Structure 1
Amino acid sequence: MKIGLYFGTFNPIHAGHLIIANHMAEYSGLDQIWLVVTPHNPLKKKSTLLDDHHRLQMVFLATEDYPKLKPSDVEFRLPQPSYTVNTLAHLQEKFPMHEFSLIMGEDNLNSLHKWKNYEVLLQNHDIYVYPRINTEVINPDIAAAARIHKVEAPVIEISSTFIRNSIKEGKNVRPLLPEKVWQYVVHNLFYKK
Structure 2
Amino acid sequence: MASRQVGLFFGSFNPVHVGHMILANFMATRTGLDEVWLVVSPQNPLKKRGTLARDHDRLHLVELAIGDTPRLRASRVEFDLPKPSYTIDTLAVLRDKYPEYDFSLIMGSDNLASLHKWKNYELILRDFSIKVYPRPGYPGGEFLDHPNVAQYDAPLMHLSATYIREAVREGYSIHYLVPPAVAAELHKSGMYR
TM-score (normalizing by structure 2): 0.96
Q: Which residue of structure 1 lines up, in the alignment, with residue 161 of structure 2?
A: 160
- Structure 1 residue 100 displacement after superposition: 0.4
2:142 maps to 1:180 = no
Matches of 2:170 and 2:84, distance apart in 1: 31
Give the alignment's Cα RMSD to 1 decimal.
0.8
Matches of 1:150 and 1:173, distance apart in 2: 30
Matches of 2:86 and 2:149, distance apart in 1: 19
Matches of 1:50 and 1:134, distance apart in 2: 28
In the alignment, structure 2 segments of 5+ residues that lack a partner are none
Q: Which residue of structure 2 lines up, in the alignment, with residue 143 of structure 1?
A: 144
In the alignment, structure 1 segments of 5+ residues that lack a partner are none
Matches of 2:161 and 2:68, distance apart in 1: 21
String of CA shifts for 1:92-124, please: whole Å, max 9, x gaps.
000000000000001111010000000000000
**Which residue of 87, 108, 112 corresponds with 2:111?**
108
2:46 maps to 1:43 = yes
2:55 maps to 1:74 = no
3-state SS of the aligned residue for 2:176? helix
- Structure 1 residue 143 displacement after superposition: 1.4
Q: Which residue of structure 1 lines up, in the alignment, with residue 9 of structure 2?
A: 6
Q: Which residue of structure 1 lines up, in the alignment, with residue 137 of structure 2?
A: 134
TM-score (normalizing by structure 1): 0.96
- Structure 1 residue 83 displacement after superposition: 0.2
Residue 151 of structure 1 aligns to which amino acid in structure 2? Y
- Structure 1 residue 134 displacement after superposition: 2.0
Q: Count residues with an aligned counterpart.
A: 190
Matches of 2:138 and 2:47, distance apart in 1: 20
Matches of 2:152 and 2:91, distance apart in 1: 21
Matches of 1:132 and 1:78, distance apart in 2: 29
Query: For residues 90-101 of structure 1, what are the structure 2 equivalents within 5 Å?
Result: 90-101=93-104
3-state SS of the aligned residue for 2:25? helix
- Structure 1 residue 65 displacement after superposition: 2.2
Matches of 2:153 and 2:79, distance apart in 1: 32
3-state SS of the aligned residue for 1:48? coil
* Identity score, percent: 48
- Structure 1 residue 136 displacement after superposition: 2.9
